[in-house]
Amino acid sequence: MTALSLNNLDISYGETPITHGVSLDIAEGESFALVGESGSGKSTILKAIAGLAPEWTGSITAFGKSRSHGIDRHFARLCQMVFQDPYGSLHPRKTIDATLSEPLTIHGIGSQNERVEAVMASVGLDRKFRFRFPHQLSGGQRQRVAIARALMLEPKILLLDEPTSALDVSVQAEILNLLKRLRREQNLTFLMVTHNLPVVSFLCDRLAVMRQGRIVEIADVADLKQGALREAYSRELMEISATHAA
Amino acid sequence: MNTPLLEVDNLRVTFPTPRGDIDVVRSVSFTLGRERLGIVGESGSGKSMTGRSILKLIRAPGTVSADRLAFDGIDLLAQSEKQMRAIRGARISMVMQDPKFSLNPVMTIGEQIAEALLTHQRLPRREVGQRVKAMLESVRIDDPERVAKLYPHEVSGGMGQRVMIAMMLIPEPDLLIADEPTSALDVSVQAQVLDIIDELVKRKGMGLIFISHDLNLVSSYCDRILVMNTGRVVEECEAGELRNATHPYTRGLLAAIPRLDETRDELPVLDRSAWANS
Ligand SMILES: Nc1ncnc2c1ncn2[C@@H]1O[C@H](COP(=O)(O)OP(=O)(O)OP(=O)(O)O)[C@@H](O)[C@H]1O
Ligand SMILES: Nc1ncnc2c1ncn2[C@@H]1O[C@H](COP(=O)(O)OP(=O)(O)OP(=O)(O)O)[C@@H](O)[C@H]1O
Ligand SMILES: [Mg+2]
Ligand SMILES: [Mg+2]
């Protein structure tokens, strides 16, 4: 079954068009990467799906249901976002408990205590962190909180914007292992933005390469691993990544 | 022999806590010539604090001490705050880790770059606009006129980083401290931005301290590398030799990096039990 489908999506901010004719179909349980040029509109696509960039034409569909342009509660329960910046995305004066309970309150969901405990356990956060503030956590712990918050409503799709780019390689490994395990256990579907092609190799099944607001290529991760991307721009990214490898 | 550009001997950065003082940087010593020095290490290991202490930008109640901290023969610890202000930006500049916090949220990108330019030289208005545009182009921003009019929250993650780099390079400093300057850039733009920095190292003899989580990048881009763990330098090596590092901590970091042709189902992680007691 198709979990998420974008059809001919043109997103703009005011007068400025950002994406042009973006179309994608992501299967349930699939992990799909969006890579490409800085400023090409990757975060903007995730924001449009999450309802944070409302000026678009085309269609956004999750499990057969189209998204409206405004606040869409039904859609929010299906589809949650983890932001690019782990420092800015948590409210500095809210405890972890308050941050995790908030989406439940907004959606009128009960048994909050049990749910907060269960989600903290599933992302590997010790209970002792529950009443701490973000500044009392490390970068990796904060990113676990951000993932936990996205999981509170038991979504079926996670939109992940550079979930590990601000983390050191060891904490990155912990978060990548965590995401892999969550996907397996909860049959989640991922749409993940990243600049790091080795991360795509580890976590994803397919990737789309973007440049200047357009998708230039969609490929299987097997092609990336074998150095078999087709388009000149994709090959450029792949070859630079390969020369960095130790 | 000439005086090195930077001499750091027994650097210590201390913060008071309810449980007593803690040294977040301890007995760090190195010298830097007109070369590229990489600093790697896990989160919280003291990389940013080391960089900031060179500019004396550690906020109270934190304190900096050292047996010697000298830039171009100038004893930095003996400089007044006013003297430090003359050095910062003009002679030593630092690209901070988080551009969103370092940029002024209520000024457009163009105004901020113009301001950075004008603190170091006088220029007619018309020329300022042209220099701002040229600077944005040099960091590969394709539509500089539009971007100059945007506010920081309206640019992408990687565009914010490039704006910071443009601002720090405009005065052509003698020493650049770059804290995770390219973590939000795609590898192609990253390579071009690093070339611009490299050009200043080669042409002007600028010294570079490059702080990064990306061990592969640092080992291919820098000359020498320091590996930090809990405030100390645990290993120092030629950049090209990083993959042959021997310290178990460095080996642990290297093993945790995914590969382009990755086949492992799970990545190895560091055993933090030794220091995960807070
Ligand atoms: N609120 C906004 N108002 C106007 N323009 C915006 C706004 N937000 C983003 N943009 C513009 O949209 C374009 C795409 O930005 P986006 O953040 O989607 O890029 P990205 O592909 O995620 O890049 P990066 O990899 O650097 O994060 C950029 O040119 C940016 O300036
Ligand atoms: N105001 C403060 N009071 C007490 N400790 C602090 C303070 N600011 C920073 N620290 C501690 O100093 C240590 C070193 O921090 P630093 O920012 O240098 O780490 P880093 O190596 O740059 O990490 P990252 O890779 O996450 O940026 C950390 O353990 C941090 O918790
Ligand atoms: Mg982005
Ligand atoms: Mg830091």
- Asked whether residue B102 is assigned to any structural domain, the reply reads yes
Identify the residue whose C-alpha is closest to ligand 1 atom 17.
B156
Q: What local confidence, expressed as pLDDT, does residue A171 receive?
A: 85
| CB-based contact, A245 to chain B, within 8 Å | yes
Nearest-CA distance B109 → chain A (Å): 15
| Confidence (pLDDT) at B275 | 42
**Pairing verdict, β B36-41 and B74-75:** unpaired
Q: Measured between alpha carbons, how far is B26 from B249 in angstroms, rounded to an integer?
A: 17
- Indicate whether residue A124 lines ligand 2 (CB < 6 A): no
User: For residue B273, with 0-12 CB atoms within 10 Å meaning exposed, 13-18 middle and 19 or more buried, which class applies?
Assistant: exposed
What are the extents of the domains in chain A?
A: 2-86+158-245
- φ, ψ at B3 (rounded to 5°): -70, 140
What pLDDT is attached to residue B272?
64
A180: enclosing H helix or E strand = helix A169-186
pLDDT at B277: 37
**Cβ A177–B213 below 8 Å, yes or no?**
no
pLDDT along chain B (278 residues), means of 10: 88 91 95 96 90 93 95 96 91 84 89 86 87 90 93 91 90 92 90 92 94 93 95 95 93 95 93 50
Q: What is the CATH number for B225?
A: 3.40.50.300
Is B262 a member of any domain? no
Record: contact A169-B100, CB cut-off 8 A: no
Low-confidence ranges of chain A (pLDDT < 50): none
A157 touches chain B (CB under 8 A): no
Contact status of B217 with chain A (Cβ, < 8 Å): yes
**CA-CA distances (angstroms) from residue B225 to A102, B4, B216, B267?**
44, 17, 11, 24
Domain of residue B10, residue span: 6-257+267-274
Whole-prediction pTM value?
Answer: 0.92
- What is the spatial distance between Cα A110 and Cα A97, in angstroms, rounded to a whole number? 15
ipTM of the complex in this document: 0.89
Q: What is the CATH number assigned to the segment(s) A2-86+158-245?
A: 3.40.50.300
| Alpha-carbon span B15 to A136, nearest angstrom | 15
Q: A84 to chain B, minimum CA–CA distance in Å?
A: 8
Dump pLDDT digits (tens) for A41-89: 999 999 999 999 989 999 999 999 999 998 888 888 899 999 876 666 7
Q: How many domains does chain B have?
A: 1
CB A225 within 8 A of CB A198: no
Q: Which among B186, B250, B272 is the top mutation candidate for probing chain A, defined by the most A β-carbons within 10 Å of its own β-carbon?
A: B186
CA angle B230, B223, B176 (to 5 degrees): 75
Quick check: B171 and B89 in contact, CB under 8 A? yes
Please report the pLDDT score of residue B120 as a whole number: 73
Kindly state whether residue B1 falls inside one of the protein's structural domains.
no
| Tens digit of each residue's pLDDT (9 = 90 or more) over B88-125 | 988 999 998 877 678 899 999 999 999 888 877 788 88
User: Is residue B45 in contact with ligand 2, taking CB distance under 6 Å?
Assistant: yes
Check whether the bond before B61 is cis (ω within 30° of 0). yes
Work out the minimum CA distance from B188 to partner chain A, whole angstroms: 6
Q: Identify from B260, B265, B269, B277 which residue to disrupt to test chain A contact, counting A C-beta atoms within 10 A and taking the largest count.
A: B260
Atom of ligand 1 nearest to the CA of B159: 26
Give domain status of residue B65, yes or no: yes
DSSP string, A22-73: EEEEEETT-EEEEEE-TTSSHHHHHHHHHTS---EEEEEEETTEEPPSS--H
Report whether residue A168 contacts ligand 2, using a CB cutoff of 6 Å: yes
Q: Is B162 inside a domain boundary?
A: yes
Bridge partner residues of B229 (DSSP): B232
Phi/psi for B61 (5° steps) reads -85, 10
